[in-house]
Amino acid sequence: MNFPMNARIFSILLAGMACAHAEEAEPPVTLDQIRELLQDPNGDLSRAAQSIIGKNGGNQLFYFPTRDEPATPEDWGFKYENLRFKSADGTPLHGWFIAPKSKQAKGTIVFSHGNAGSLGYHLGFVIWLAEAGYNVMMYDYRGFGRSGGTVGRRGMIDDVKAAFSYVMARKDIDPKRVVSYGHSLGGAQSITALAESPVKGLRGIVIDGAFASYQSMARIMGGQLGASLVTDELSPHEFVKKLPAVPLLVVHGKQDEVVPFSQGLQLYKAAKGPKTLFDVEGGRHGTALSEDGGAYRKKMIEWLAKILKG
């Protein structure tokens, strides 16, 4: 029986994935054969993929937004304000402003989250900062949660800029005590956004589990085929050296299963000083700061106190 080319390719991939979980079975196709397919950017699989999603359609595969709200800061015992503001092109954005329980905040953290879910899925990354006495402003990019629009690299980087513009215009915060904190995709996007549009008065930048290159990540996940479907424009490795001269903290787990440690190290090496690296033994993609009973959270609090001193 002759399968159409697309059906043959995807049946091979499905068979390969199935055999990976059946060690005693005789595989119809080996994992080496799957890897060979993925390493050929000009082969049948590449042509089939490009016909389905377009030549650069892989750019959209970096994003896994949802529109639900599984939790709010109130579930963690904090009062919060729903925020509505707009990106440069008029796209409506939604966020939360969480104030600490202490009367006076030590500073304000602008948090840019990773590539999946919506705000409620990322509270664990920041609620400890509110507990430590900081304001936290977190927001959803276009296409995520209650923000409008559809996902896209350029627009989402502009959304990072819009979040800072909003925060810096608030009358209830000290604009000279603001720090950027981005996890994973949020770290990558915030590097590019802050290099393109430096924020006056910004005191520090934190990235946790961020990657250096979109194409490199596509190659890690999908071989040469993956890289052939993704562009590298606006990648942070081109912008990290252009960041304003404020302290940079690079956090990366040595056992990060999603973004290899080498990606974070590349960003750290390319950045100009002042800079600090937390290379966390045992840290995974979402646990670098919470490892070892939150030891690196304490170190980050110390780092924040140091850069905000005075």
Sorted by where each begins, the domain ranges of the chain are 5-60, 64-307
pLDDT interval class at 273 (50, 70, 90): confident
Contact status, residue 93 vs residue 163, Cβ threshold 8 Å: yes
Pick from 269, 289, 267: nearest CA to 280 = 289
**Tokens standing for 177?**
């005590």
- pLDDT tens, residue by residue, 119-149: 999 999 999 999 999 999 999 999 999 999 9
Q: Which CATH number fits domain 64-307: 3.40.50.1820, 1.10.40.30, 2.40.50.100, 3.10.150.10?
A: 3.40.50.1820
Contact status, residue 286 vs residue 253, Cβ threshold 8 Å: no
Contact status, residue 19 vs residue 36, Cβ threshold 8 Å: no
The enclosing H or E element of 268 equals helix 261-270
* β strands within the chain, DSSP E: 64-65, 80-86, 92-98, 108-112, 116-117, 135-139, 178-183, 202-208, 248-253, 275-280
Res 170 pLDDT > 80: yes
Res 294 pLDDT > 60: yes
- pLDDT tens, residue by residue, 57-74: 468 778 999 999 999 999
